[in-house]
Amino acid sequence: MTVQELPGRKLSGAGLLRSGMRIDLLPGIVAIVAAAILAPIGFLVYGALTTTAIGQPFAGLTLRNFAIVMSEPAYLTALLNTLYVGFASTILATLIGALLAWIIVRTDTPGRASLRVGVMIPFFLSPFIGALAWTLLLQRDLGPLNLLFGAIGLPQVDPYSVKMIVFVMAIYYAPYVFIFVSSALLNIDPALEEAGHMSGLNRRQVLLRVTMPLIAPAILSGMLLTFVATAGQFGVPALLGTKPRFFVLTTYMYQLLNRFPSQYNLAATLGLVMLAIACFGVWLQSRLTRGRSYVTVGGKGFRPRILQLGSLRWLAFSYVGAFILLGSVLPMAMLLWVSLVPYYDATFSLSRLSLEHYRELMSGRLILPSLRNTIFLAVAASTIAVLLAVALNWMLLRTKSVWRKPLEFVLIIPAAIPHVVLGVGMLWTYIYAPVPIYGTIWILLIGYVTGFITQAVRNVQSSFLQIDRSLEEAVTMVGGSRLRVIREVTAPLLRPGLVGAWILLFIIYVRELSTSIFLYSPGNEVMSVLMFNMWGEGNWGGISALAMVQMVLVGAVVYLASAVFKVDLGKA
Amino acid sequence: MTYLSVQGLRKEFGAFKAIDDVSLSLGRGRVCALVGPSGCGKTTTLRSIAGLETPDTGRIELDGRILFDGQAGIVVPPEERNLGMVFQSYALWPHKTIGENVALGLRIKGMGRADIRERVGSVLTLVGMGGMEERYPASLSGGQQQRVALARALALRPKCILFDEPLSNLDVLLRERMRFEIRDLLVKLDITAVYVTHDQTEAMVIADHMIVLNAGRIEQEGAPADIYARPRNRFTAEFLGRTNLLALDHATSDLATGSLRSRSGVALQTSDRDPRRSGDLLIAFRPESVRVDEAPGPNSFATRVISAQFLGSQTQLTLDLDGEQIIALLPGKQLRAPEESLRISVAPQDVLVLEE
């Protein structure tokens, strides 16, 4: 316990002086965070219960929006589509990701260390860029994969289809499942499996009766988070589903807002439906992993038992290789090629290479500001989120404040809320807010921090939990004040974890599209928004060049993280 | 003259009474051990003295200065209490060298560089870690880390050092050696200390005064040897080592003359004569006070061997005494075959009457 929360104390002279200087910022920080999270939800509820447009005076509560949403088949279809896409891509991602994890952690497949890195690449690429690349790979009559299918007598594959939405999401969310399952596999005490063998179970029985039940919570937990993420995905269904008029809730909300006149109230109603689905998923996930999720973080890290696959190891290798090919190599190669030729015509001659698109980007009116906006927002939002996360964790883990429970509860929302929904709620909030934030870059900054604050808190928490309390108490016992405790022990020990959390957030922010697409205003575009808008114009060369710039930015930061700061992002 | 005084300390965590009216008083240069099973409140008491935990009520005074007074609302923060503490987990700062670990408190105090270097060197030498200033904690063994933790506590020359199960993470041999080293150091430097442990042998080596805690309350206190010889009740007797306990039959026993009879019908003579005791009582004798004795006499019994184990320096026999299982510890190797009959005796002065 720190000195802070001792009730009713009388202090000696020196102590009184110090306590007077000690202004407690924690309650203020908590209040601001809670307001930033709860206000958009409040306005969403308000919007769903009224029919007055944004900015109009209040004209009574009504359930009409809900009646419309329930009665019109288009909305129901969007809801069912969302659930279908969410379930299908979650199950596929789980099958892919869990098998990848098992092969890489528990078998003697050659080159596992490099394969592990390759498997994580789609995570850094983002589903949106993946969807862009796959549209190019499967362009009708021109996409290299369709050319290949044609050459071997197979029918062409249409990128604009439900199947491809599910496929792309499954590939780009499989690394999430991979992270969960591989860390669970690494944290199983091998003695548990050995005990299974000693009780007369064969290898298959040990896998089914011992290993599977042990990692089941991790798999389930990864599945639920993947479901929440895929059901709330905007970029992929927007890119691949708009043409065949296959709408999910996120894209439908986007449509409602871009119609004339905008249907804010209906969008808010759909947003609440999505929020309810997502909150249920996250609540279920936290129930299932209660008291378990953090144990694995600081786990001992057992040396896992490696299964000798024999000649099957090459099959396993091919499987992982195919995943890396489909998830990273082909998409990246395609984007690189398209960015380097004046226009893509399915001819692959080095003589066509040119830097035209890059020159165009550099001279373009939008690209440099968007690059600057992206980097500014990513740096500022990561920094603010990490600092807030430190303060909130201090409160959660180092004080006995009665506000800890409500804070934990409020923090569930950012983890659950689809960022599209947050975007809509924030629009409403900051139009009414008495501060001139609407239509500026600051609304994006607030949106970024709010949307990922829970992720930041969790990442920082795992580092916090690794600091033994007695290390801090030992400073107190040799006469150090609370500030001294932080300076001498907490901060230095937290630093590597904070760098890791910062970098992870930076990568997420550089790729962010779902919130930005609702909150940007002309002049405040970030790179993802610019790409999305260029896609509307069909400027594939420009998009690809921009995607390459984004990938280089992320790649540079990932390299910096692992080479300079020795951060293992796979564990963050 | 009381140097450290703790009075009527209470602390509840929700409905759980962690400590319930704990008091102790300790003279200067004395060592008090708080012992008891886990959850008995010994660590909470220690942390309350340290200031790392705030009791609900009570009063703590050290060398005439009030550190805590629940009624007057006085809580001196831990960093101003001038106490040293040795943690169970050593709590050495992993990112600081051994020298920096020991020096931090002196730096906070504002001591000069040269003085710090000299003090760190001398205190490390004192604990047998001289010349290790530049090493990092991770490169030290558990025993060495514990010595550094001790040095860090000693460096500030605190009024009192608090030990929180400091040896429980060490292996048995090292633990037994460190006991004596710590004891010698405390005596040599005339240090006042409160020492928390769940190991009663450790407490007996290190402490002048022992307090047995159970469920937040003081069960018994006194000199360790006295408590061992005269435990008041079943809890203390069993906590301090294995004891043969037979339920006393009030109707057929005479507490005034010391002729006792157990409910199973075993008749025993004791020199522990106190007729005032009432309630459920037990007849107790330690396994090591059982003698193998062929000549019939007072407290001599025919028993049947149930099992025998050779433990190295002793042999442990499980015996059947008129239907009650008792344990006997005999010196050296004295194995017996099961079912063998064996005559044993217990001296009347080794037989005690305890409360349930």
Residue-wise DSSP of A215-255: HHHHHHHHHHHHHHHHHT--HHHHHHHTTTT---HHHHHHH
Which of B65, B75, B163 to mutate to test binding with chain A, by most A CBs within 10 Å of its CB?
Answer: B75
Mean pLDDT of chain A: 84
User: Under an 8 A CB cutoff, do A489 and B80 touch?
Assistant: no
Taking only the tens place, the pLDDT of each residue in A310-364 is 888 899 999 999 999 999 999 999 999 999 888 887 777 788 888 888 888 888 7
H/E run at residue B61: strand B57-62
- pLDDT of residue A258 exceeding 90, the answer is no
CA distance, residue A508 to nearest chain B CA (Å): 31
CA distance, residue B205 to nearest chain A CA (Å): 26
- In the 8-state DSSP scheme, what is residue B311? -
The percent of residues in chain B predicted with pLDDT above 90, rounded, is 65
Nearest CA in chain B to A469: B91
* CB contacts, 8 Å: B105 with chain A: 478-480
Residue A298's pLDDT is what? 35
Residue-wise DSSP of A475-522: HHHTT--HHHHIIIIIHHHHHHHHHHHHHHHHHHHHH--TTHHHH--T
CB contact, 8 Å: B52 with chain A? yes
CA distance, residue B72 to nearest chain A CA (Å): 8
- pLDDT of residue A421 exceeding 50, the answer is yes
The secondary structure of chain A in percent helix, strand, coil, rounded to multiples of 5, reads 75, 0, 25
Residue A14's pLDDT is what? 38
Taking only the tens place, the pLDDT of each residue in A318-327 is 999 999 999 9
Query: Is there a common fold for A15-51+356-572 and A73-289+313-341?
Result: yes
How far apart (Å, rounded) are the C-alpha atoms in residues A532 and B322? 92
Domain segments of chain A as ranges: 15-51+356-572, 73-289+313-341
- Across B93-229, the runs of DSSP E, i.e. the strands, are 160-164, 193-197, 209-214, 217-222
CB contact, 8 Å: B6 with chain A? no
User: Under an 8 A CB cutoff, do B91 and A479 touch?
Assistant: no
Q: Considering only the beta carbons, identify the residue of B72, B79, B89 that sits closest to A480.
A: B79
- pLDDT of residue A427 exceeding 50, the answer is yes
A73-289+313-341: CATH, from 3.40.50.2000, 3.40.50.720, 1.10.3720.10, 3.50.70.10: 1.10.3720.10
Mean pLDDT of chain B: 91
CA distance, residue A470 to nearest chain B CA (Å): 6
* CB contacts, 8 Å: B160 with chain A: none
Which of A22, A467, A477 to mutate to test binding with chain B, by most B CBs within 10 Å of its CB?
Answer: A477
Taking only the tens place, the pLDDT of each residue in B21-31 is 999 999 999 99
Which of B46, B47, B52 to mutate to test binding with chain A, by most A CBs within 10 Å of its CB?
Answer: B52
- pLDDT of residue A197 exceeding 50, the answer is yes
Residue A295's pLDDT is what? 33
* CB contacts, 8 Å: A14 with chain B: 80
* CB contacts, 8 Å: B109 with chain A: 479
Helices (H), B230-325: 234-239
Q: Considering only the beta carbons, identify the residue of B53, B87, B153 that sits closest to A470.
A: B87
Q: In which region does residue A75 sit, left (phi positive, over 0), alpha (psi from -120 to 50) or beta (all else)?
A: alpha
Nearest CA in chain B to A4: B77
How far apart (Å, rounded) are the C-alpha atoms in residues A140 and A137? 9
Q: Kindly state the average pLDDT of the residues A445-466.
A: 90
Number of H-type helices and E-type strands within chain A: 29, 0
CB contact, 8 Å: A351 with chain B? no
User: Under an 8 A CB cutoff, do B108 and A473 touch?
Assistant: no
Rounded to 5 degrees, φ, ψ at A343 are -150, 145
Tokens at residue A243, please? 């043409």
Q: Kindly state the average pLDDT of the residues A389-393.
A: 91
CA distance, residue B214 to nearest chain A CA (Å): 24
CB contact, 8 Å: B53 with chain A? yes
CB contact, 8 Å: B13 with chain A? no
At the top level of CATH, which class does the domain A15-51+356-572 belong to? mainly alpha
